[in-house]
Chain A
Amino acid sequence: MNSRYKPAIHFNNVSFSINGEEILKNITGSFPEGKITTLVGPSGAGKTTLLKLCNHLLSPDSGEIYIKEKTITDFQPVELRRLVGMALQSAPMISGTVMDNLALPLTLQEKKPAEGEAGELLRDVGLKEDFLSKNVKDLSGGQKQKVSIARTLVNRPKILLLDEITSSLDRTSQREIEELIVKINQKYGTTIIWITHNLQQALTIGNYTWVMMDGEVIETGESELLESPVNEKVRRFVKGEAE
């Protein structure tokens, strides 16, 4: 897919199973560099597993994953995870303030954020600088998700993996996060791979999409494919979602 674009991540015949149950079956395909690709499909399709393979939180049973044309195993895990950032659906926070959370990626490297860096990141994600001293317990779901994204950006990742980051948010917060992701993509040229259940979101925000079902990639292409899918299963899925 998308042969006109350089792949940021390429999967070559990747399979993954847990306790003998096949979660991913012979996945082959690429995520184009500098673009937003959405991963859509019903629950249990293997989307989150696929994302964790990109970040090397999991390793495939067979097949190869290439990141910037190097196999994933050529990278040191720590180096790779700073290059490929990930924001989780639950936006887990460490206890303490927003500043503690933003400083976390640097604390892990025994470094401190540069003067004003944390404030700038917060402004980037649409939060005021005075949020730095707020306890994370006092944040709303949307604010937590923004802090979670800002925290991931501290490592300046070239690829950003997003796991249903808007699924539990209200419409206003969803829209703010969508705008934020587009801004990050445009400002830093970050490749975005975004799992979403919201097909409208996939259509409006994503440049490309992968439709996954039962551990397989059923259809890939520009996001518009969701309006007129070729595959019958995808057509039924899109119809079901739309109704």
Chain B
Amino acid sequence: MSYLALSLTLIFVLIPLILSKTLRLGLEKDTIVATIRSIIQLLAVGFILKFVFDSESLFYIFLMVTLMILVATHNAQRKGASIKGITWKVAVTLITVEVLTQGILIGFNITPPTAQYIISISGMVIGNSMVLAILFLNRFTSEVDDHQDETELILSLGGTPKQAIHHQLIRSIKASMIPTIESQKTVGLVQLPGMMSGQIIAGADPIQAVQFQLLIMFLLLTTAAVTSVMLGFLSYPTLFNQRMQLLKNR
């Protein structure tokens, strides 16, 4: 792609800006910030990736993955600020998802243990896990607030905190996983995944691109399930105290 062609892609940023301005959506500043950040971040990551891939150093791979987890944790924990200790809960969840998925991929020799594969796949896994964590925390905090009566009912009938929060927890886990499952149902029919399209545009064999995409999609299914379930089970106990009371000042 020539630099001129790349510059012309900014038309796709102008359209939402015009719409936002016309309809007074107030999203102009966010759109501009997001555009500038994505340009700087992607260019920087491009140079960093080139350096890491060339070096093939395990230390740099570890550093890159750690950085991804730190940024994702910082981003996701804000949605669950009312849950005590949410930062470490999100961090532990992201680390578990990363170790589990890479463990399976490398352990079963599905992908080679090279920087190129580890960093690219980690980016997708951690990124998706972060979005899942945000979706889950968003839903879970509203479920807890909106169904306080239900929680107190079960506690007042002699239920445990786990029983009292069970329905809210299940609803939040399901709601956060739905986008992942639904997008997989229509993949190939409605949308072609970005990674697969990218490989095809870059000249890869479409069948091979599809095979790799399938791997990623199944991986993201595990990512979604483990993130929601683990974060849920780490989060709910902090809503209660030792006396099995729902804490008001979360």
Contacts and interface: CB of A to CB of B under 8 A. Distances in A.
B153 A108 contact: no
B156 A86 contact: yes
Interface in B159-177: 159-160, 163, 167
Contacts of B163: 108
A77 interface: yes
Nearest to B160: A78
Contacts of A105: 157-158
A55 B152 CA distance: 10
Interface residues of B, number: 19
Nearest to B240: A77
Interface stretch (A38-46, A88-96, A127-135): A88-96
B157 A151 contact: yes
A109 interface: yes
Nearest to A78: B158
Contact of B244 (A77, A109, A155): A77
Given A57-B155, A59-B245, A88 B160 contact: no
A109 B149 contact: no
Interface in A58-107: 58-59, 77-79, 81-82, 85-86, 88, 90, 92, 94, 104-105
A19 interface: yes
B204 to A, nearest CB: 49
Nearest to A56: B243
B50 interface: no
A85 B156 contact: yes
Contacts of B156: 55, 57, 81, 85-86, 88
Contacts of B243: 56, 59, 77
24 contacts: A19-B249, A55-B156, A56-B245, A57-B152, A57-B245, A58-B245, A59-B245, A77-B243, A77-B244, A77-B245, A78-B158, A78-B159, A78-B244, A79-B158, A82-B157, A82-B158, A86-B156, A88-B152, A94-B153, A104-B157, A108-B154, A108-B157, A108-B158, A155-B157
- Considering the complex of A and B, which 8 residue pairs feature the smallest CB-CB distances, nearest first? A77-B244, A82-B158, A86-B156, A92-B149, A108-B159, A81-B158, A105-B157, A78-B158
